[in-house]
Amino acid sequence: MSAAATLLVALAGCTSGAEQPREASKHAAVKPSVAPRPTVKQRPYDKMPARPLGKAAAGGGDRAFLRAAFAIQTPAGHEVPPAEEVVVIHRLDAKNGELAWMRDGRTFCYGKIREGYSSYTCGQLPETAPAPGLLLTLPGEHDRVTSEDNLDEVRNVSFVIAEGGPERFDHVKRSKGMGPVHQAVAKFPSGRMVTFLTFDYPGHGFELDPEAEICRSDQKVCFPSEPVPY
């Protein structure tokens, strides 16, 4: 925002007729003109980490999963979170699945663990929401491909962060081959809650219905089954 400029306007006196003496010039100062500040709606960011609720909290049975998840260092600038801040979205088995965490209300990390291989996407939420009720949408990424022989087994996994609490999300119009919607809720100390979602579909030879979508149970938050990236 640039500083407001101060405008000074000089008003000079004038004479009427040749015989009248010239009056001294008079100067009048006009009050500074202040440009209006545009209204900027800033998202309130929590400064403390979110904590998982219910079954999303990592328990004793998740030890092997967490070891596999953090055997490889997380992306630069992002530390391995304490176990109590890890949100387990999907337990594929004892050592595989998806998880996420938010160290504050703006910073997120999402991890996908498959057969000893972990991949992470970390960053900051976009300033502009993808759609009402949504905070972040990431399109599907392949599971790890070990060879061309297992292409039919490869799945794409998408990740979404939504506002709100325990309301369930599910397919409304579902393409054949789409997997179930997995979700987990985390709560910030302020009371604000977010929902982490993952869902998968075939990564090879799959045609997604362009009208397929996933919606919250109250139908107030919906997004395409293949979300548009933020």
- Each residue's pLDDT tens digit, 121-147: 999 999 888 889 999 999 888 887 665
Name the residue among 202, 211, 208, 164 with its Cα closest to residue 183.
164
- In the chain, the percentage of residues whose pLDDT exceeds 90 is 52
Report the pLDDT value the prediction gives residue 15, as an integer from 0 to 100.
37
Report the pLDDT value the prediction gives residue 218, as an integer from 0 to 100.
92
Q: Could you read off the pLDDT of 49-89 as tens digits, one per residue?
A: 999 999 999 999 999 999 999 998 788 889 999 999 999 99
Report the pLDDT value the prediction gives residue 229, as an integer from 0 to 100.
64
**pTM of the predicted model as reported, rounded to 2 decimal places:** 0.77
Report the pLDDT value the prediction gives residue 94, as an integer from 0 to 100.
94
